């Protein structure tokens, strides 16, 4: 498993910042694959449980399962909530990158695709809708830079911030797997990668338990 240093200033183990994980060429090719995924599974606006308030980000998914949110709650399901069609397949390059970065043979079952325009935000939250927290979460950034904030596993604790630029990766594993994290702002116009502008964040996740050998 990779041994990159923790994010500077964080006292929580397992949060690994991987600047420049994707080359410019890899970013261009991956952005093209994600554009095809969004054409097949269009972006939709998730809603908060209970009150139905829409998120400021739009999203879609690829892989066997996809994360959705509406008045019924947060959950994973096998189909797009608007079209009813199964999610597009996970690109092979993402599966290979997951194995290289995490060291796991067990592949991610979901890749959440979040699209941020220049005004979108993501409040501090935990990724805890999965069955097995032994599996890490791998995040990849494409397009405009974002100010990412991360804290510990208790809400309201101290936080640190780091800029995530196009091509950067981030891993949450170990103690940081349930760290609170979010996006405070997008630096609009900081990248020319996406024709429409904005930022795409890809979050690769295991949903079901890892095999008995840990993957």
- Rounded Cα–Cα distance for residues 151 and 130 (Å): 20
The DSSP secondary-structure symbol of 194 reads S
Average pLDDT over all residues of the chain:
93
Say what percent of the chain tops pLDDT 70: 94
Q: Which residues 6+ apart lie within 8 Å of 138 measured at CB? A: 97, 98, 101, 102, 108, 169, 170, 171, 203, 204
**CATH superfamily for domain 15-205:** Alpha-ketoglutarate-dependent dioxygenase AlkB-like (2.60.120.590)
Task: In the chain, count H helices and then E strands.
Answer: 2, 12
Rounded to whole angstroms, what are the CA distances from 147 to 5, 32, 181, 203? 19, 24, 11, 16
Question: What are the domain boundaries of the chain?
Answer: 15-205
Q: Does residue 181 sit in helix, strand or coil?
A: strand
pLDDT at 12: 63
pLDDT (tens digit per residue) in 63-94: 999 999 999 999 999 999 999 999 999 999 99
pLDDT at 5: 41
pLDDT at 66: 98
- Rounded Cα–Cα distance for residues 48 and 68 (Å): 10
Question: Given pLDDT bands bounded at 50, 70 and 90, which one contains residue 203?
Answer: very high
Q: Is the confidence at residue 180, as pLDDT, over 90?
A: yes
Question: Given pLDDT bands bounded at 50, 70 and 90, which one contains residue 11?
Answer: low
pLDDT (tens digit per residue) in 98-136: 999 999 999 999 999 999 999 999 999 999 999 999 999
Calculate ∠ Cα 116-119-125, nearest 5°. Answer: 65
């Amino acid at each position: 498993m990779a041994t990159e240093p923790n994010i500077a200033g964080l006292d929580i183990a397992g949060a690994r910042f991987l600047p420049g994980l994707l080359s410019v060429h890899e970013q261009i090719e991956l952005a093209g694959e994600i554009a095809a995924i969004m054409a097949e599974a269009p972006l939709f606006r998730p809603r908060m449980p209970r009150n139905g308030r829409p998120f400021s980000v739009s999203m879609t998914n690829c892989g066997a399962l996809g994360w959705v949110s509406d008045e019924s709650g947060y959950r994973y399901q096998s189909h797009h909530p608007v079209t009813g069609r199964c999610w597009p397949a996970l690109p092979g390059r993402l599966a290979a990158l997951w194995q290289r970065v995490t060291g796991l043979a067990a592949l991610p079952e979901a890749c959440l695709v979040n699209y941020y325009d220049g005004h979108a935000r993501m409040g501090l939250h935990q990724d805890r809708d999965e069955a097995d927290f032994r599996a890490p979460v791998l995040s990849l950034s494409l397009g405009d830079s974002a100010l990412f904030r991360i804290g510990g596993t208790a809400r309201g604790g101290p936080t640190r911030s780091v800029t995530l630029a196009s091509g950067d990766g981030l891993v949450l594993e170990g103690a940081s797997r349930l760290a609170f994290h979010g996006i405070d702002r997008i630096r609009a116009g900081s990248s020319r990668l996406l024709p429409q502008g904005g930022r795409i964040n890809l979050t690769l996740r295991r949903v079901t338990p890892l095999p008995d050998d840990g993957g």
